[in-house]
Amino acid sequence: MFVAMNRFEVAPGKSEDFERIWSERESHLDQVPGFLRFALLRGETEGEYISHSTWEDRDAFLAWMESDSFRKGHAGPSLMGILQGPPKVSLYEAAVTQEAGGPSRTE
Residues in touch with a copy of itself (CB under 8 A) = 1, 3, 19, 22-23, 25, 27, 29-31, 35-44, 49-50, 52, 90-104, 106
In this structure, which amino acid lies at residue 23?
S
Between 84 and 94, CB nearer to a copy of itself = 94
Q: Is 105 helix (H, G, I), strand (E, B) or coil?
A: strand
Q: Are 94 and 2 in contact (CB under 8 A)?
A: yes
Shorter beta-carbon distance to a copy of itself: residue 49 or 69: 49
Closest to a copy of itself by CB, 78 or 106: 106
CB 42, min distance to a copy of itself, A? 5
Ordered DSSP codes for 8-73: EEBPTT-HHHHHHHHHHS----TTSTTEEEEEEEE-SSTTEEEEEEEESSHHHHHHHHTSHHHHHH
Q: How far is the CB of 94 from a copy of itself (least distance, A)?
A: 5
Shortest gap between Cβ of 92 and a copy of itself (angstroms)? 4
